[in-house]
Structure 1
Amino acid sequence: MTLQVQAEKLEVAAGESVLLPETSFTLQAPGLIALTGPNGAGKTTLLKTLAGRQLPSSGQCLIGNLTAYEFDPAFRAAVASLIDTPPMARDMTLNEQLMLVRLSWGDDDDEARFGAEQCLARLTIPHLGDRFPYELSSGQLQLFALALTLSRPFEVLLLDEPERHLDAERVVALLDVLDQHVDRGALIITATHRQEIIDRNTHRIHLVRDAGS
């Protein structure tokens, strides 16, 4: 059965402020989905709700047959996200941290080492594997954050402006990596303002800023 992501009259409010106006959609895997709209329209809030990190004020969000809730192990196994900067260990190299992620998701030592090296290579930074996070530029840190996120298995991937701090060449490399995951059956939803990313997507969700926010 094809995995679906469904939002049914989903709304998020904090007091009198509407963080996400009522939103409904159904998406089917595989696919690369652009989430667009002006600043303040609710893109990040929608991603956090889909990731199970933000409870809706009304409506519901389903990933397959699972309610979006990050503390549910089955949900957590299906959904990966890069919304905020992920934790990074100052005293571990990039390769060591990527290997740790892969080992925690079931790789053996050789698989973890190979997977870590391949992930950095696909994101154009194979030469940084023995470096530490504090030695990286802002663009390199973003690529490493993406590598940490992409190193685990997932059926659904949620990304909040993954192109930030990346030059045009790295954006192309990132899109190629995302296309590979779509080819394997993943559904990827990415909030973005970059036209070249929007043009590459197979579908688009556009949010409009709530008039009362």
Structure 2
Amino acid sequence: MTAVDGLDLHIRQGELYALLGPNGAGKTTTLRMVVGLEAPDSGRIEVCGIDALAEPLAAKARIAWLPDDPLLYDKLTPMEYLAFVAGLWAVPGAVARARAEALVVQLGLEEKRDARCEGLSRGQRQKVALAGALIHEPELLILDEPLTGLDAAAARTVKDMLRARTRAGGTVILTTHILEVAERLADRIGIIRAGRLIAEGTPQALAADGETLEDVFLALAT
């Protein structure tokens, strides 16, 4: 069975792109190929002008990947975890500390900054993982269901942070099953089914003629 079949996507710099589809449509497989965790059988993947198949390390240096169930090191505190991740990306110590402090404040983790990750709630763990994805200020941020486990206030904070990144010239690709999030947040939306792109456009263009994005999605993807 082919998970992704002739999929052709072009994401623009400074854009927030939502990739939508039913379970099993190929969304996560697509993202895993972009970040280099799975290899395509054929085709080309370009990240920030770099051939990601020919120069995987150079491409990965420009990417941050946040899966739907991110791995944290339970015995580390959020601040220790962020220092560890920053070290992997060779972020200078003083810069890493300043960024970590700012991210902890932005994400409302001040009270948990020195608590071990094993004792954090799912939403708090999700925020720590997001901070880790942002610590090296990637050009391309890829998120698979980033709002999972977040309460309304935390979700609003994350959405504001993602829009701030695109305003600053960064690029964000995300998947979500919450169609309202895609409709309000994304510059463009792609809908895939059985590994193929079946619709693409701005939320306004897709939901034309008085239809909602939910109407369009259900008609096309189910």
TM range (shorter): 0.7 to 0.9
Task: Identify unmatched segments of 5+ residues in structure 1.
Answer: 1-16
Q: 172, 191, 203: which one pairs with 2:188?
A: 203
Q: Does the CA contact (< 8 Å) of 1:49 and 1:68 recur in 2?
A: no
Contact 1:34–1:197, Cα closer than 8 Å, also in 2:
no
Given residue 27 of structure 2, which amino acid in structure 1 is its aligned partner? Answer: K
Per-residue deviation, 1:48? 0.5
* Native 8 Å contact 2:68 2:146 kept in 1: no
CA distance, structure 2, for counterparts of residue 193 and residue 163 of structure 1: 10
Tell me how far apart the structure 2 counterparts of residues 182 and 144 of structure 1 sit (CA, whole Å): 21
Unmatched 5+ residue regions in structure 2?
197-222
One-letter amino acid of the counterpart of residue 81, structure 1: W
8 Å CA contact retained: 1:52, 1:70:
no
Report what 1:9 is aligned to: none
1:80 aligns to what SS in structure 2?
Answer: strand
- Name the CA distance, whole Å, in 2 between partners of 1:210 and 1:92: 38
What SS does the aligned partner of 1:197 have? helix
Per the TM alignment, residue 114 of structure 1 is displaced from its structure 2 partner at its CA by 2.1
Please state whether the residue corresponding to 2:16 is helix, strand or coil. strand
Q: Spell out the pairing of 1:87-102 with structure 2 (5 A cutoff).
A: 87-102=71-86
For 2:58, the equivalent position in structure 1 comes to 74
Q: What CA RMSD, in Å, does the superposition of the two structures yield over aligned residues?
A: 2.1
How many residues in Structure 1 have an aligned counterpart in Structure 2? Answer: 195
Amino acid in structure 1 at the alignment position of 2:180: E
Residue of structure 2 in register with 1:109 after alignment:
93
* Residue identity opposite 1:204 in structure 2: I
Q: Percent identity?
A: 31
Residues 171 and 70 from structure 1, CA distance in 2 versus in 1: closer, same or farther, beyond 3 angstroms? farther
CA-CA distance at 1:70 after TM superposition? 9.9
More strand by share: 1
Secondary structure (helix, strand or coil) at the match of 2:8 reads strand
Q: Secondary structure at the match of 1:59?
A: coil
Q: Secondary structure at the match of 1:19?
A: coil
State the alpha-carbon separation in 1 of the partners of residues 116 and 106 from structure 2. Answer: 19
Q: Which residue of 2 aligns with 1:41?
A: 25
**Who is 1:173 aligned against?**
157
TM-score w.r.t. length of structure 2? 0.80
Query: What is the CA–CA distance in structure 2 between the aligned matches of 1:107 and 1:27, rounded to whole Å?
Result: 27
Q: Matched residues in 1 for 2:14 and 2:70: separation?
A: 25
Q: How far apart in 2 are the matches of 1:103 and 1:154?
A: 14
- Greater shift, 116-125 or 32-41, is seen at 116-125
User: Normalized per residue, which structure has more helix?
Assistant: 2
Aligned to 2:148: 164
72 and 194 in structure 1: CA distance in 2 versus 1, 3 angstrom threshold: same
Aligned to 1:186: 170
